[in-house]
Structure 1
Amino acid sequence: MRYQQGDTIVAIATPPGEGGVGILRLSGPAALRIAKALCGLAPESPNWPARYAHFRRFYGRDGQGIDHGITLYFPAPHSYTGEDVVELQGHGSPLALAALMQESVAYGARAARAGEFTERAFLHGRLDLAQAEAVADLIHARSEAQVRAASASLEGAFSKAVDAIYGQLLQLLALVEAGLDFSEEDLGTAHDSAVHHGLETLQKQLLHLQQQARQGARLARGGRVILAGRPNVGKSSLMNALAQRDAAIVTPVPGTTRDLLREEILLDGLPVELIDTAGLRESQDLVEAEGISRARQILQSAQLILLVADAHTGWQAEDQAILDTLPSIARLIIWNKQDLVTSLPKAPAHEACLAISALVGNGLDALKAEIMQQMGMENSACVFSARQRHVEALADTTEKVAEAVHMHHSAAPPELLAQSLREAANALAQITGKIDVEDILGEIFSRFCIGK
Structure 2
Amino acid sequence: MQNGEPIAAIATPPGRGGIGIVRLSGRDLKPFLIALLGRVPKPRFATLAALKDAEGRVIDEGIVLYFSAPHSYTGEDVVELQGHGGMTVLNLLLKRCLELGARLAEPGEFSKRAFLSGKLDLAQAESVADLIDASTAEAARSAMRSLRGEFSREVNALKDGLMELRALTEATLDFPDEEIDFLQQADAFGRLERLRARLAGLLANARQGALLREGAQVALVGRPNVGKSSLLNRLAREEVAIVTEIPGTTRDTIRSHVEIQGVPFHIIDTAGLRETQDAVERIGIERARRAVEAADLVLVVTEYGQGVTPEDEAILRQLPDRLPRVVVRNKIDLAGVAPAVRAEGTTTEVWLSAKTGEGVELLQQELLRQAGWTSSGEGLFMARERHLAALTEAQERLAAAAPAASLGLELFAEELRLAHAALATITGEFTADDLLGQIFSRFCIGK
Q: Check whether TM > 0.5.
A: yes
How many Å apart are 1:350 and its aligned residue? Answer: 4.2
What is the aligned partner in structure 2 of residue 19 from structure 1? 17
Say if 1:229 and 1:319, in contact at 8 Å, map to a contact too: yes
Note if 1:418 corresponds to 2:413.
yes
Decide which of 324, 338, 357 is 2:353's aligned counterpart.
357
Aligned-residue offset at 1:71: 0.7
- Decide whether the 8 Å contact of 1:32 with 1:86 is kept in 2: no
Give the whole-Å Cα distance in 2 for the aligned partners of 1:20 and 1:168.
50
Q: Distance in 2 between matches of 1:347 and 1:267?
A: 22
Q: How does 1:55-204 map to 2 (within 5 A)?
A: 55-185=48-178, 188=181, 191=184, 194-204=187-197
Q: Single out whichever of 367-376 and 320-329 deviates more from structure 2.
A: 320-329
How many Å apart are 1:318 and its aligned residue? 1.1
Aligned partners of 1:149 and 1:73: how far apart in 2? Answer: 30
For 1:377, give the aligned amino acid. Answer: W
Which of 239, 251, 263 aligns to 2:244? It is 251
1:378 aligns with 2:378: no
CA–CA distance in 2 between the matches of 1:362 and 1:232?
A: 19
- Name the counterpart of 2:444: 449
> Using the alignment, how far apart are the partners of 1:325 and 1:101 within structure 2?
56
Q: CA deviation at 1:360?
A: 1.8
Aligned length: 442
Give 1:392 shift: 0.5
In 1, are the aligned partners of 2:256 and 2:266 still within 8 Å (CA)?
yes
Instruction: Kindly state the Cα deviation for residue 186 of structure 1 after the two structures are TM-superposed.
Output: 6.0
Deviations 1:278-309 (A, max 9, x none): 10011111111111111111112211110101
Q: Distance in 1 between matches of 2:213 and 2:343?
A: 35
| Aligned-partner residue type, residue 6 of structure 1 | G
| Distance across 1 between alignment mates of 2:178 and 2:295 | 58
CA distance in 1, matches of 2:91, 2:29: 17
TM-score for the superposition, normalised by structure 2:
0.95
Which whole-Å CA distance do the structure 2 matches of 1:349 and 1:195 have between them?
Answer: 43
Distance in 2, Cα, partners of 1:219 & 1:133: 15
Q: TM-score, normalised by structure 1?
A: 0.94
Q: How far apart, in 2, do the equivalents of 1:347 and 1:367 lie? A: 13
Paired residues for 1:228-247 under 5 Å: 228-247=221-240
Code of the aligned partner of 2:191? G
Match of 1:396 in 2: 393
Asked if the contact 1:75/1:84 (under 8 Å) is kept, the reply is: yes
Residue number in structure 2 paired with 1:336: 330
Q: 1:388 to 1:190 in 2, by over 3 A?
A: closer
Query: Which 4+ residue blocks in structure 1 deviate beyond 6 angstroms?
Result: 346-349
Cα distance in 1, alignment partners of residues 52 and 265 from structure 2:
48
Structure 1 residue 31: Cα displacement: 2.4
Residue 436 of structure 1 deviates from its aligned partner by 3.6
Cα 1:58/1:115, change in 2 over 3 Å? same
Give the deviation of 1:437 after TM superposition: 3.4
Once residues 133 and 59 of structure 1 are traced to their aligned partners in structure 2, the CA distance between those partners, rounded to angstroms, is: 36
Q: Are the counterparts in 2 of residues 369 and 378 from structure 1 also a CA contact under 8 Å? A: no
Kept in 2: contact 1:315–1:347 (CA 8 A):
no
| Aligned: 1:8 with 2:6 | yes
Pair 1:84–1:254, CA change in 2 (3 A): same
Over the matched positions of the two proteins, sequence identity in percent amounts to: 48
Moved more, 322-331 or 126-135: 322-331
Contact 1:19/1:92 (<8 A) preserved? yes
CA shift, 1:185, in A, is: 4.0
Asked whether the 8 Å contact 1:179–1:187 carries over to 2, the reply is no
SS in 2 for 1:424: helix
Q: What is the Cα deviation at residue 64 of structure 1?
A: 2.1
Tell me what 1:320 maps to.
Answer: 313
CA displacement at 1:193 relative to structure 2: 5.5
Q: Distance in 1 between matches of 2:180 and 2:162?
A: 20
Residues 436 and 296 of structure 1: CA distance in aligned 2, closer, same or farther (over 3 Å)? closer
Could you say what secondary structure the match of 2:230 adopts? Answer: helix
Q: Helix, strand or coil for the counterpart of 1:288?
A: helix
Q: Take 1:441 and 1:269, find their aligned partners in 2: how far apart are those partners? A: 30
Residues 355-364 or 200-209, more deviating: 355-364
Report the CA distance between 1:352 and its aligned residue.
2.1
Q: Which residue of 2 aligns with 1:219?
A: 212
Which digits, 9 at most, give the CA deviation of each residue in 1:228-247, with x for residues without a partner? 01101110111111112222
Question: CA 1:347/1:338 → structure 2, altered by over 3 Å: closer, same or farther?
Answer: farther
* C-alpha contact (below 8 Å) 2:268/2:291 kept by paired residues: no
Q: Deviations over 1:38-75 (max 9, x none)?
A: 22x2xxx5x42110111111111122221111111101
Partner Cα distance (1:285, 1:135) in 2:
48
For the residue of structure 1 that corresponds to 2:19, the secondary structure is: strand
Q: Distance in 1 between the 2:182 and 2:95 partners? A: 71
Q: Does 1:407 align with 2:439?
A: no
Cα offset, 1:348, TM superposition: 8.7
In structure 2, C-alpha distance between the alignment counterparts of 1:111 and 1:38, rounded to whole Å: 17
- Deviations along 1:94-149, whole A, 9 cap, x unmatched? 01111111111111101000000000001001011110011111111121101110
CA contact (8 A) 1:310 1:337 kept: yes
The question of 1:32 aligning with 2:30 is answered: yes
- For 2:344 and 2:363, locate their aligned partners in 1 and report how far apart those are by CA, in whole Å: 19
- 3-state DSSP of counterpart to 1:20: coil
What is the distance in 2 between the residues matched to 1:402 and 1:341? 53
Residue identity matched to 1:405 = A
The SS at the match of 1:352 is: strand
The letter for the 1-side match of 2:25 is S
- Structure 2 residue identity aligned to 1:389: R
1:189: how far off? 6.1
In the alignment, the residues of structure 2 paired with residue 31 and residue 404 of structure 1 have an alpha-carbon distance, to the nearest angstrom, of: 52
Q: Is the 2:172–2:182 Cα contact (8 Å) retained in structure 1?
A: no
Runs of 5+ unmatched residues, structure 2: none
Among 348, 362, 366, the alignment partner of 2:362 is 366
Give, as a single letter, the amino acid of the residue that structure 1 aligns with 2:315: I
